[in-house]
Amino acid sequence: MLVESKPQVHQGKNKLNPFNLQLVIMGTGLIGLNVFLMSFICFYFLNPDFHSLLTGKPL
């Protein structure tokens, strides 16, 4: 005897919502902080005027 199987459809709301405003703000802040720190380190070691401004000593 053959029994037809029906696909099970989940009617509940998905608990993991990937588009969350808090997640977007946190991700943007993390990327912004990372870019700021990388540019600060590059300016500190590659630009003698910026290095002298912060430390008071020449590079």
pLDDT range class, residue 25, cuts 50, 70, 90: very high
Judged against a pLDDT cut of 90, whether residue 38 lies above it is answered with yes
- What integer is the mean pLDDT of 1-29? 74
Q: What is the pLDDT of residue 30?
A: 97
Q: What is the overall mean pLDDT for the chain?
A: 84
Q: What is the pLDDT of residue 21?
A: 86
Task: List phi, psi (to 5°) of 6.
Answer: -100, 140
Q: What is the pLDDT of residue 2?
A: 66
56: amino acid identity, one letter: G
